[in-house]
Structure 1
Amino acid sequence: MFDYKLLAALAAVIEQAGFERAAQVLGLSQSAVSQRIKLLEARVGQPVLMRVTPPAPTEIGRRLLNHVQQVRLLERDLQGQVPALDEGGLPERLRVALNADSLATWWAKAVGEFCAERQVLLDLVVEDQDVGLKRMRAGEVAACVCAGAQPVAGARCVALGAMRYRALASPAFVARHFVGGVDAASLARAPAIVFGPDDQLQHRFLAAQGGGPSFIYHLCPSSEGFVRLTSGGLGWGLVPELQVQGELSRGELVELLPGRVIDVPLYWHHWRTGGELLAQLTGHVTGRAGQWLVPLTSG
């Protein structure tokens, strides 16, 4: 039998990115949390954590995290059927990995009603849509929104739709950098804005115009900041059309190559044995995402 106090310590260290904050969440001393991790490692006969900053799970640690995530959700279902088992009476907290652009646009509208009605708290882990699935593999989240369609072992994947991106810049930026028109060469010379090291949207857009992988760019790991930098004339970038309808209508941003868009597919991944709450959230998200996302194209 598992000792779930030990598993709770492992989950807290990963979710809180360290022993000190894990101890605060668990109401224990840092030393006590460390001792529980050591005891867990002694029982499984190998390390469950890599002692790096922040701590990362080993392969066996990931398997244990996957298990404890699913047990938490199943326990919540049982508490609903047997209320006396609910010691704290606190709302359930669901840990979900989500890309920043979804968070900045459609996500709140899609899940707000669900969380209010079912008293669910969200613990959101913000990741690029191309890499968010690694949180599922690590057992750190119960579900994620990402661009990959291949589910991890023990999980299911449902298509949500696609987020449409347009290449935008401020009128002043266009006048300064694209006097002779917009093409692959002028795009590579003009400063772009890239969300982060994993963001390949600008690279894909340049490639579609016949350009190469080399161009100059600012790095801005914030969806809101990305739009502000673009509107402020610092660079051009691929921006979700959902996020900038006001800026486009007011003329603060203009499209560089009208009609040439990039549609990024988004998929909802969730554990198969995640219990009733996760199944209900899955139905809610998949039933509403189409109000804001464009349909996926085949091929």
Structure 2
Amino acid sequence: MIDYRLLQAMAAVLEQGGFEKAANYLHLTQSAVSQRIKQLEHLLGQPVLIRSQPPKATSLGQRLHNHLQRVRQLEAGLELSANPEDLIIRITVNADSLDTWLPAALVLEDYPLLRFEVSVEDQAVGLRRMKQGEVMACLCATPEPLNGGDVIPLGVMRYRALASPAFIQRYHLTPPEPAIFHQAPCLIYSREDRLQHQFLADVAGTEPLYTHHLPSSEGFIKAAKAGLGYGMMPELQVADELQAGHLVDVMPGYSLDVPLYWHFWQMESPVMETLRASVARAASTALY
């Protein structure tokens, strides 16, 4: 059984940004905070903090911090000792949702002091952070729930293969000839982003030869408008560019629908239940 006073000392160092601030927050001496963390590390047989400025959690420390947050949420739901200001919700989501419809879902009127720590992973791989205990919920494209978890479908995000008119003219993509698409430069968000590969497999049975890796959703669109390459982009994010003619379909009529799912633990706190309902509502108005 873990002594939660030790976990609270570790959490205070991470949340306050240092040992001295944690000591002031907990009304302890700095030495007492340090001793509690050393005791925790001795019990576990490995470090929970990286002594940097500010201190950072190790992989184990992050999982323990996440566990403590879940305990705090359950206490808040039972109207026990949890302070709303102490509640931190860690979730991992795909970049395109974060850049379009998701932020509105994070505004919870019942929990105005709730804090979010959002990490971004490709929709095909984000679930691994939840499996490792690093986050409390995950928005991704995987329908199978984790052991001890549950999942709800949210809808699909529609992607289209787009480029600037000048790019299409430069690479002679009008009329669209699938056989030459793989020779044109392709924009890819990350190593895990396979949407462009799926597009080429669908229309030409091949893979891209030349790629640019651009890990920025906004930069991805700007690069396409500038003529650096073509790529798969969510309709939600490029409506204005399509209407203005800055971006056009490289294969008219083609679209790729990516399903999105919200993963959560079956032992769900009232805070996480409220968040799940808010996410579902926002998705129902934004996604197909």
Q: Which runs of 5+ in 2 are unaligned?
A: none
Any idea what SS the aligned residue of 2:241 has? helix
Distance in 1 (alpha carbons) for counterparts of 2:156 and 2:109: 26
Aligned to 1:165: 159
In 2 relative to 1, CA 110–244 (structure 1 residues): closer, same or farther, beyond 3 Å? same
Distance in 1 (alpha carbons) for counterparts of 2:199 and 2:12: 40
Task: Give 1:183 deviation, angstroms.
Answer: 3.4
Instruction: Judge conservation of contact 1:169–1:236 (CA < 8 Å) in 2.
Output: yes
Instruction: Judge conservation of contact 2:200–2:208 (CA < 8 Å) in 1.
Output: no
In 2 relative to 1, CA 179–272 (structure 1 residues): closer, same or farther, beyond 3 Å? closer
Are positions 1:251 and 2:245 aligned together? yes
Any idea what SS the aligned residue of 1:182 has? coil
Aligned to 1:94: 89
Any idea what SS the aligned residue of 2:258 has? strand
Match of 1:108 among 76, 84, 103: 103
C-alpha RMSD of the superposition: 3.1
1:75-154 map, 5 Å? 75-78=75-78, 81-82=79-80, 85-86=81-82, 90=85, 92-112=87-107, 115-119=108-112, 120-154=114-148
Q: Which runs of 5+ in 1 are unaligned?
A: 295-299
Instruction: Judge conservation of contact 2:181–2:204 (CA < 8 Å) in 1.
Output: no
In 2 relative to 1, CA 291–117 (structure 1 residues): closer, same or farther, beyond 3 Å? same
Task: Give 1:259 deviation, angstroms.
Answer: 2.0
Size of the alignment, in residue pairs? 280
Are positions 1:286 and 2:286 aligned together? no
Distance in 2 (alpha carbons) for counterparts of 1:65 and 1:174: 50
Task: Give 1:281 deviation, angstroms.
Answer: 1.3
Distance in 2 (alpha carbons) for counterparts of 1:169 and 1:193: 10
1:1-299 map, 5 Å? 1-8=1-8, 21=17, 23=19, 26=22, 36-44=36-44, 46-47=45-46, 56-57=58-59, 64=64, 67-78=67-78, 81-82=79-80, 85-86=81-82, 90=85, 92-112=87-107, 115-119=108-112, 120-179=114-173, 181-294=175-288
Instruction: Judge conservation of contact 1:170–1:254 (CA < 8 Å) in 2.
Output: yes
**TM-score normalised to the size of structure 2?**
0.83
* CA shift digits 1:19-46 (9 cap, x unpaired): x9565874589998776554324324x4
Instruction: Judge conservation of contact 1:159–1:268 (CA < 8 Å) in 2.
Output: yes
In 2 relative to 1, CA 25–216 (structure 1 residues): closer, same or farther, beyond 3 Å? farther
Instruction: Judge conservation of contact 1:69–1:141 (CA < 8 Å) in 2.
Output: no
Distance in 1 (alpha carbons) for counterparts of 2:170 and 2:261: 39
* CA shift digits 1:180-229 (9 cap, x unpaired): 53334322111111001111111111111133234211111111111111
Task: Give 1:5 deviation, angstroms.
Answer: 3.7
Instruction: Judge conservation of contact 2:164–2:246 (CA < 8 Å) in 1.
Output: yes
In 2 relative to 1, CA 198–271 (structure 1 residues): closer, same or farther, beyond 3 Å? same
* CA shift digits 1:159-192 (9 cap, x unpaired): 1111110000011111111255333432211111
* CA shift digits 1:235-256 (9 cap, x unpaired): 1000000000011001110011
Task: Give 1:7 deviation, angstroms.
Answer: 2.8
Any idea what SS the aligned residue of 1:118 has? coil
Distance in 2 (alpha carbons) for counterparts of 1:30 and 1:199: 45
Please say which of residues 145-154 and 3-12 is displaced more in the overlay. 3-12
In 2 relative to 1, CA 101–151 (structure 1 residues): closer, same or farther, beyond 3 Å? same
Distance in 2 (alpha carbons) for counterparts of 1:153 and 1:243: 34
**TM-score normalised to the size of structure 1?**
0.81
Corresponding letter in the other structure for 2:46: P
Distance in 1 (alpha carbons) for counterparts of 2:184 and 2:239: 24
